[in-house]
């Protein structure tokens, strides 16, 4: 038995792997593989339509919010967002809360004025700053809802809602994991490979009323309005990646949707953090109130012992627990498709190892 705790690409439901493999051989009885069907065929259009409908339904989106499946990963959104929403003479507020947040603000500087309204860089991003002000004239405020590398997550969004400016969020690593009022956001983006599906596609949810306000001329492929008009088919979409997303969204709906998966995610995170806190061998790296329910980070002070535990994890089939180089130690990613049993098995191993080390 192997449990995949990788931060992304990451674990997906077994049912999704089974259905996706079947579709590679014969897609829905067409005699054709999902890898060779035309993207403008009715069979694929049905897949895309179902994925969009499932997302609108799961996220309870209103009619102003459009769902797009685009290429280029979340990293392309770092520049596509300001290209579409930040005028050259205007200003956007950015929260500097981690590696990806920092990359996003650097890209935004290419298009307008960036106001870094807060940063926890000096503390190696171990907390989320909350006491900061935002100029009401800002075109938007950009946040990273879950900082994948450091393991922090915005728990109480009201701090951000109160700022009174349009909200833009990189939700790559916690989208669909907890209930939020998604309609409060002007734009949400997420690489699919953490909680939505396979690598190769990213999700953009955009309030169409926020578009068309910048004066610059946009390349066709960079303009969200063209993608909305073309229904995410301005060019050949990543057919297979979108199919895997649709299967994962179907799975999530059958599980009871976001409300039900949030209960599971809370149980998994609670168990992991209880284990870290109960055993002095392990030290959580972020302040408790900002702990991520998706990525739990901890270290062991003795590097030699860290190596030993890593080797034990490997031997016991606990894959992908090594922390990012900027934090060190361990990072346990517990996305939607990670079963509670996986986290319980890792927690047991942590207890066993701590006891052995006395």
Ligand X SMILES: *Cc1c(COP(=O)(O)O)cnc(C)c1O
Known binding positions for L-glutamate:
7, 40
Nearest distance in Å: CB 197, ligand X: 12
73-85 and 99-108 helices cross at what angle (nearest 10)?
40
Nearest distance in Å: CB 294, ligand X: 9
DSSP 83-139: HHH--TT-EEEEEE-SHHHHHHHHHHTTTSEEEEEEE-GGGTT-S--------TT-S
Nearest distance in Å: CB 228, ligand X: 21
Phi, psi angles (nearest 5°) of residue 339: -75, 155
Whichever of 84 and 275 has its CB closer to ligand X, that residue is 84
Nearest distance in Å: CB 202, ligand X: 6
Known binding positions:
7, 40, 74-75, 100, 148, 170, 193, 235-236
Known binding positions for pyridoxal 5'-phosphate:
74-75, 100, 148, 170, 193, 235-236
Displacement of CA 130 from its chain's centroid (Å): 21
239-255 and 257-278 helices cross at what angle (nearest 10)?
80
Nearest distance in Å: CB 143, ligand X: 10
Whichever of 5 and 282 has its CB closer to ligand X, that residue is 5
Nearest distance in Å: CB 41, ligand X: 27
Strands 3-4 and 65-70: unpaired
Whichever of 170 and 262 has its CB closer to ligand X, that residue is 170
Which residue do the tokens 């939020």 mark?
A: 180
Contacts of 343 (CB under 8 A, 6+ apart): 268, 271, 272, 332, 334
Note the residues at the interface with ligand X (CB under 6 A).
8, 73-75, 100, 144, 148, 170, 172-173, 191, 202
Whichever of 107 and 264 has its CB closer to ligand X, that residue is 107
Q: Is the peptide bond before 252 cis (omega within 30 degrees of 0)?
A: no
Whichever of 139 and 295 has its CB closer to ligand X, that residue is 295
Whichever of 23 and 92 has its CB closer to ligand X, that residue is 92
Strands 330-333 and 282-284: unpaired
Contacts of 45 (CB under 8 A, 6+ apart): none
Yes or no: say if 8 and 149 are a contact pair by the CB < 8 Å rule: no
Whichever of 20 and 101 has its CB closer to ligand X, that residue is 101
Phi, psi angles (nearest 5°) of residue 33: -80, 150
- Can you point out the beta strands (E) in 281-341? 282-284, 295-300, 318-319, 330-333
Residue 291 DSSP one-character state: B
Nearest distance in Å: CB 8, ligand X: 5
């Amino acid at each position: 038995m192997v449990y995949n705790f990788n931060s992304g690409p990451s674990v997906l439901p077994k049912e999704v792997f089974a259905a996706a493999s079947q579709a590679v051989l014969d897609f829905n009885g067409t005699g054709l593989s999902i890898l060779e069907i035309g993207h403008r065929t009715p069979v694929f259009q049905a897949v895309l339509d179902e994925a969009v409908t499932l997302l609108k339904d799961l996220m309870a989106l209103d009619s102003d919010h459009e769902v797009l499946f685009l290429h280029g990963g979340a990293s392309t959104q770092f520049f596509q967002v300001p290209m579409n929403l930040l005028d050259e003479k205007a200003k956007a507020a950015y929260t500097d809360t981690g590696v990806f947040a920092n990359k996003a603000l650097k890209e935004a500087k290419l298009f307008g004025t960036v106001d870094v309204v807060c940063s926890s860089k000096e503390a190696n991003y171990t907390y989320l700053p909350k006491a900061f002000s935002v100029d009401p004239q800002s075109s938007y405020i950009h946040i990273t809802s879950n900082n994948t590398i450091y393991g922090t997550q915005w728990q109480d969004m009201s701090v951000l809602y109160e700022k009174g400016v349009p909200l833009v969020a990189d939700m790559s690593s916690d989208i669909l994991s907890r209930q939020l009022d998604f309609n409060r956001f002007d734009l949400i983006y997420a690489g699919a490979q953490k909680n939505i599906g396979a690598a190769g596609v990213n999700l953009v949810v955009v309030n169409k009323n926020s578009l068309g306000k910048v004066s610059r001329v946009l390349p066709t492929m960079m303009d969200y309005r063209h993608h909305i008009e073309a229904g995410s088919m301005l060019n050949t979409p990543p057919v297979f990646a979108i199919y895997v997303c649709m299967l994962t969204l179907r799975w999530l709906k059958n599980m009871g949707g976001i409300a039900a998966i949030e209960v599971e995610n809370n149980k998994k995170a609670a168990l992991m953090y209880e284990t870290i806190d109960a055993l002095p061998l392990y030290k959580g790296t972020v302040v408790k109130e900002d702990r991520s329910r998706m990525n739990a980070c901890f270290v062991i002070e003795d590097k030699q012992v860290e190596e030993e535990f890593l080797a034990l994890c490997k031997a016991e089939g606990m894959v992908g627990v090594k922390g990012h180089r900027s934090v060190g130690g361990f990072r346990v990613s517990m996305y939607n498709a990670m079963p509670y049993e996986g986290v319980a098995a890792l927690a047991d191993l942590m207890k066993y190892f701590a006891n052995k080390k006395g």
